[in-house]
Structure 1
Amino acid sequence: MMSPKPLSKFPPGTKVKIVSFCGGCRLRGRMCALGIFPGVEIEVSRSCPLQIKVKDSTLLLGKGAGEKILGIPIEE
């Protein structure tokens, strides 16, 4: 298994499985409310600002959040 890296390090078009968070309970709570939690698969659409697709939604995340959410690429 590859080691997880921050969402901000993935190029656009990459499908990623969320593994963990490096932030506190506020970040975790906010991300879980948006449907982003360990095990969820997302797609990075754009890198600056970080735009991701989660299920049927498109979200923009700040640089700080993108550095604290860790994931691994999904092999297709």
Structure 2
Amino acid sequence: MRLIDSKVLQEVRVVGFESGCRSKERLLQLGIVPGVILKIKRLAPFAGPLIVSIEGSDVVLGRGIAKKIIVEEI
């Protein structure tokens, strides 16, 4: 499933990225790497961004990039 399909307060594990994801390097810099666990803290309404927690730090991601992050439920 994609990160954008997750629910608030759900924890997921990053599996990978869709091919052609140009933001992959930036995601890796933010610590969003395969195997890391993310917690969805907030989904802003009206196509707004997501706030996810990564090892205690909050990161804001646009919905476009969240559609390209492949995750699995844990």
Would you say same fold, with TM above 0.5? yes
* 2:42 counterpart of 1:33: no
2:16 & 2:55 partners in 1: Cα distance? 18
Unaligned runs of 5+ in 1: none
Query: CA offset at residue 56 of structure 1?
Result: 1.9
TM-score between the two structures when normalised by the length of structure 2: 0.87
Unaligned runs of 5+ in 2: none
Q: Tell me the distance in 2 between the aligned counterparts of 1:9 and 1:24.
A: 19
Aligned-pair identity in percent equals: 34
TM-score (norm 1): 0.85
4+ residue segments displaced more than 4 Å: none
Matches of 2:34 and 2:19 in 1, distance apart? 13
Which is helix-richer, 1 or 2? 1
Q: Which residue of 2 aligns with 1:44?
A: 40
Once the two structures are TM-superposed, the CA of residue 9 in structure 1 deviates from its matched residue by 0.6
